[in-house]
Amino acid sequence: RKSGQLKENDQNLAGEDVREGLTAVISVKLPNPQFEGQTKMKLGNSEVRGIVESVVNEGLDYFFEQNPSPSKKIIEKCLMASRARDAARKARELTRRKSALETTSLPGKLADCSFKEADLCELYIVEGDSAGGSAKQGRDRRFQAILPLRGKILNVEKAQLDRILNNEEIKSMITALGTGISDDFDITRLRYGKIIIMTDADDDGSHIRTLLLTFFFRYMQELLERGHVYIAQPPLFMVKKGKEEHYAYSQKELDAIMERIGRSNYTVQRYKGLGEMNADQLWDTTMDPANRTLLQVRLQDAVEADLTFTMLMGDKVEPRREFIMEHAHEVRNLEV
């Protein structure tokens, strides 16, 4: 680093980088030498090691100071070995990543649709097996596919790539969408024109949506830039009066319905989760293109979104706390 050959941000050279191609001849004379093994290829006197290390280090330091030209060439050789080792590591990681993603079969829990034209097809990413079962029964099998997720997916903001690719829920999404991720992402291989996140209208559902959006932003950002990602809006209330059923998506809508139908001989059901709706109700309220409400997710400002995702999903707690305190008065349910 003193000579400028190793920059401040460069990693230190590893021992294997320095030892590559190295041949050393060291003569040691001592009484009663002890050798290891039948072939006597290794000296067994442990006290010699420290002495040899000290003498050799001092000699090398002196040589490098007195001979800058060959010293520079030796360091260049070590740097070349380091770069080659790093390139080989990246190649291995790329091979592992591709092998993890390239598969001829779709995930077993995916209920695919029959249409093959991506622009006509929709993928519902659904929270939980219970809601996934209702969605599979209530969907239009021609153009709607269902992928149920078990619980919260991995927070990719804090995880290494190998751990991300070993996560079964994320692997299922990557395989189902067909595009690959990061540098291997190819939008022309997208299998669905609409990717719809459908979760419960509670804190857990909000967290799952945030985790999914973080994954899409980090590894499939073009999906957001092109407007392929949507958030389903299931109803919060069902008002039943006689044989009539009315759905409300907010407290304000509920109040309006109550004023319209009258406040007598009625029941109100507050949906705590998607699993409380049967297949017909889920279709009528959340999946039928003629009746449903979808929120399209767009990234108007990628830089601002990047900072927000890092703040909300990263390791640093204080910026996240400040953000929540600053915006808590603006909304009743803070969501991403």
Where in the sequence numbering do the catalytic residues fall? 127, 200, 202, 204
CA distance linking residue 327 with residue 307, whole number of Å? 16
According to DSSP, residue 14 is labeled P
Sequence-separated (6 or more) residues with CB below 8 Å from residue 224: 213, 216, 217, 297, 298, 299
Q: Which run of H or of E encompasses 261? A: helix 251-261
Residue 74 token pair: 């030796």
CA distance linking residue 235 with residue 220, whole number of Å? 29
Count of other CB atoms within 10 angstroms of residue 202:
14
| 295 phi and psi angles, rounded to 5 deg | -100, 120
Cα–Cα distances (Å) from 61 to 56, 76, 112, 241, 316, in that order, read 9, 17, 67, 91, 43
Residue type, 166: N
**SS3 of 94, please?**
helix
CA dihedral 197, 198, 199, 201 (to 10 degrees): 110
**SS3 of 30, please?**
coil
> Which runs of E-coded beta strand occur in the chain?
35-36, 42-43, 122-127, 144-149, 194-198, 229-232, 237-241, 244-248, 267-270, 294-296
